[in-house]
Amino acid sequence: VVCAQVDQVIQVGHLLDVRTGNYQKNKAILVEEGRISAIVDADQAPKNVQLIDLSKHYVVPGLIDMHVHLTSDPQKHGYRGLVETPTREAIFGVSAAKATLKAGFTTVRNLGAAGFADVSLRDAIDDGEIQGPRMRVAANTICITGGHCDNNLLPHIYNSRSAGVANGPDEVRAKVRENIKYGADVIKFAATGGVLSKNTDVNASQYNFEEMKALIDEAHDRGRIVAAHAHGLQGIKRAIAAGVDSIEHGSFIDDEAIKLAKKHGTYLVMDVYVSDFILSEGEKAGILPESLAKEKKVGLLQRQNFEKAVKAGVKMAYGTDAGVYTHGLNGRQLAYMVQWGMTPLQAIQAATVNAGTLLNWKNEQGQQNVGVLEVGAYADLVAVPVDPLTQIKTLEQPAVVVKSGQPVF
């Protein structure tokens, strides 16, 4: 193969095909303008081109975390967060983005940030001013008055409310439009109460069916996927029936809702690691006592229900809620997913091809941008010294991370 425009050649000892679980041996990935232009046998690669030698490594696609909050400082929970501004949070996000990328997560879906701080962070990364993963951002999480994502910490005299609050089908449609106007790539709404919000009930639904349907239809009309924060069963089912693309957390999902998710092709994004942080370090980090009490009712059940859902064969994508806990530890959840019923390959698929498919993010030729190492995709990858299919934890600290064909330092 003689290909005049190749910018880089990446020699790979073991290249994991995440669709099949098979390794291809001694390959060369050819990179043009940050994307994969061909994958050839190592000895067929053009010479005299910048070379990245991963011939001793195992290589998987760059990992994807579908649920992060890069602008959130995990040491500023509860009332400590009240002194934060979106500008300060954007600056915090600079180091969080770098830590996340170095951990091998070359793409993230950022599910909620105040003041469009996530849009600014994404743009600074895309403009090459700072280092970080590719970001697909949700901007303001859409929620009901007093619900999860509203600011419920202060009494009414302070007249404080989150920018994402919207009630009724017309208001939720308008909020979707506003998010998109100012840069959102994806939409997030809260379908039930949450653990970390004051005065919300994880079992209580937020929004009726009509509101959810209006929100989701509006987003889909504009080509945006929708993620629903949902712990409680009714909210999970309602959001699936209304056509949501992914259920976040999914803690109290049952057999019937699992069936419904399979029928609709809905992805589950279950953050089965974060409970450990909340219960061990949450109090020090400012998490409210009522939230710690809620977490005690959610954490274990969520893991058991995750195991059920895995057995039932529901589509799963990888999301951790990093930002609630320390940025850069995104890979820790892989081993938890294996502990709770996945094979290592399934856990890797959740964080690569499945996440990339859920993102529905394609190049001009209709090829998947991320989550696979195939022609047309960004040349984003992670290299480890041992076989991750036998030692999943090796992915917690990759030896080499490559984004757009360039090693990350």
Binding site for ligand ARG (CB under 6 A): 194-196, 249, 271, 274-275, 295, 298-299, 302, 321, 324
Length of the chain, in residues: 409
Q: Give the shortest CB-389-to-ligand ARG separation in angstroms.
A: 26
Nearer to ligand ARG, 298 or 389 (CB): 298
Nearer to ligand ARG, 218 or 271 (CB): 271
Q: Are strands 187-190 and 226-230 parallel, antiparallel or unpaired?
A: parallel
| Residue 99, token pair as written in the block | 């830590």
Q: Give the shortest CB-68-to-ligand ARG separation in angstroms.
A: 11
DSSP 3-state of 277: helix
Nearer to ligand ARG, 74 or 405 (CB): 74
Nearer to ligand ARG, 301 or 386 (CB): 301
Q: Give the shortest CB-9-to-ligand ARG separation in angstroms.
A: 42
Nearer to ligand ARG, 188 or 213 (CB): 188
Q: How many CB atoms lie within 10 A of CB 298?
A: 19
Q: Give the shortest CB-269-to-ligand ARG separation in angstroms.
A: 10
Q: Give the shortest CB-30-to-ligand ARG separation in angstroms.
A: 41
Q: Give the shortest CB-195-to-ligand ARG separation in angstroms.
A: 4
Question: Phi then psi for 309, rounded to 5 degrees?
Answer: -65, -35
216 to 45, 109, 220, 345: CA distances (angstroms): 46, 17, 6, 32
> Which residue's beta carbon is nearest to the bound ligand ARG?
194
Q: Give the shortest CB-229-to-ligand ARG separation in angstroms.
A: 7
Q: Give the shortest CB-274-to-ligand ARG separation in angstroms.
A: 5
> What is the b/e burial string over 104-121, where b = at least 16 CB atoms within 10 angstroms of the residue's CB?
bbbbbbbbbbbbbbbbbb
Q: Do residues 203 and 238 make contact, with C-beta atoms less than 8 angstroms apart?
A: no
Nearer to ligand ARG, 165 or 324 (CB): 324
Nearer to ligand ARG, 42 or 292 (CB): 292
376 to 35, 352, 367, 370, 383: CA distances (angstroms): 6, 15, 6, 9, 20
Q: Give the shortest CB-4-to-ligand ARG separation in angstroms.
A: 50
Beta strands of 210-273 (E only): which ranges? Answer: 226-230, 246-249, 267-269
> What is the b/e burial string over 55-89, where b = at least 16 CB atoms within 10 angstroms of the residue's CB?
bebbbbbbbbbbbbbbbbbbebbbeebeebebeeb
Q: Give the shortest CB-329-to-ligand ARG separation in angstroms.
A: 15
Nearer to ligand ARG, 132 or 323 (CB): 323
Burial of residue 281 (number of CB atoms within 10 Å: 0-12, 13-18, 19+):
middle
Q: How many CB atoms lie within 10 A of CB 128?
A: 8
DSSP 3-state of 360: coil
Nearer to ligand ARG, 291 or 354 (CB): 291
Closest listed residue to residue 246, CA positions, set 313, 316, 199 = 316
Q: Do residues 306 and 320 make contact, with C-beta atoms less than 8 angstroms apart?
A: no
Cα-to-chain-centroid distance, residue 315: 15
Rounded CA separation 274/104 (Å): 18
Q: Give the shortest CB-326-to-ligand ARG separation in angstroms.
A: 14
Nearer to ligand ARG, 195 or 358 (CB): 195
Nearer to ligand ARG, 73 or 380 (CB): 73
